[in-house]
Amino acid sequence: MIAGAAGVIGRVLSNGLNAYDLRLVDTNPPPYSDILFKNIDVANYKEHLKDVMIGHDVVIHLAHDMRENFDTRHTIHDNKIMIENIYSAALKVSPHPRVIVASSVHAAGGHINWDIEPYTNVKERKRSLEQDELITVAHGPAADSPYAATKIYGEELGRWYATQGLRVVCVRFGGVNERDEILEEPNFCYHAFWLSKQDCTQFVKCCIEATLPQYSVFFAISNNKYKVVDISDARKALGYMPVDDAAMKRRL
C-alpha cells in the first residue's frame, strides 16, 4: 500500500513497483487506472486506513503537505497527524505490515554549512569527500527547517512504534523530480543529494525485501560523486547498488 501515491515519489514507485500487488491511497487519484485506488485523507480517516491496510505486507507512507514550507501554522499539525495515523493503524493490523516512511535528507541538513569546508568543495564540485567526512545516520538528526523537524518527529515516533511490534524503515530521501534531472534550488546542493527515479525504485524494493532489524534509518541518494551523506550502510544492509551519478547529468 502506497499512501501519498499521487506525489512525485508516489508516481515513481507506482510505476517501478508494478511487479507487486499495489493499493494506492491519496486524496487525488494518480494516473494509473489499472491499479487499485482508495480516496482517503490520511490526516482524518485513521479507521479507514486500518481497513485498507489489512492483507498488505508493506505500507509505504509518502503523504505530506508541502505547504508546510510556506505556512507552518496548520500543515505541521496535519503532517504529524498523518504519520501518527499510519503507525497507529498499522499496529492494529495483524500481522503487522512493514512500514516504510518517507523522511528526508533535510533531517540531517543542520549538520551542513555550505559556506565552510569541506562542504564548499562539494558545493563547487571541486573534490569528493573522504568516507570519514561523510554524514552518517549515527551523527543523529539535525533539522534545517520546519519541514525537516516534522520528518525527524516521524523517525522518532517510528522508533517508539518499533518497540511495540512494528518493523519500521525510515528513508531519508534525496532529491527526486519528474524530469530526473539536476535542479537548481536555493540553499540546497541538488547534485549532492540527487536520487534518480531508477535508484529510488531500487532503494524501496530493497527496503521491502531485505531482512532488517525492528527499526532502521537510511539515507537514499544516487551514487553521486559529490555527496555529503553516507550510503554504505544501505549498501550493506539492503544490498542497494545505485547506478546513477549526478556528476554525469546536465544541470537545469
pLDDT value of residue 75: 63
Amino acid at 135: I
Alpha carbon distance 138, 55 (integer Å): 34
pLDDT value of residue 251: 42
The structure's pTM equals: 0.94
pLDDT value of residue 62: 98
pLDDT value of residue 65: 82
pLDDT value of residue 74: 55
pLDDT value of residue 68: 53
pLDDT value of residue 71: 52
pLDDT in tens, the chain (252 residues): 999 999 999 999 999 999 999 999 999 888 777 789 999 999 988 888 999 999 999 999 999 887 655 455 556 788 999 999 999 999 999 999 999 999 999 999 999 999 999 999 999 999 999 999 999 999 999 999 989 999 999 999 999 999 999 999 999 999 999 999 999 887 789 999 999 999 999 999 999 999 999 999 999 999 999 999 999 999 999 999 999 999 987 543
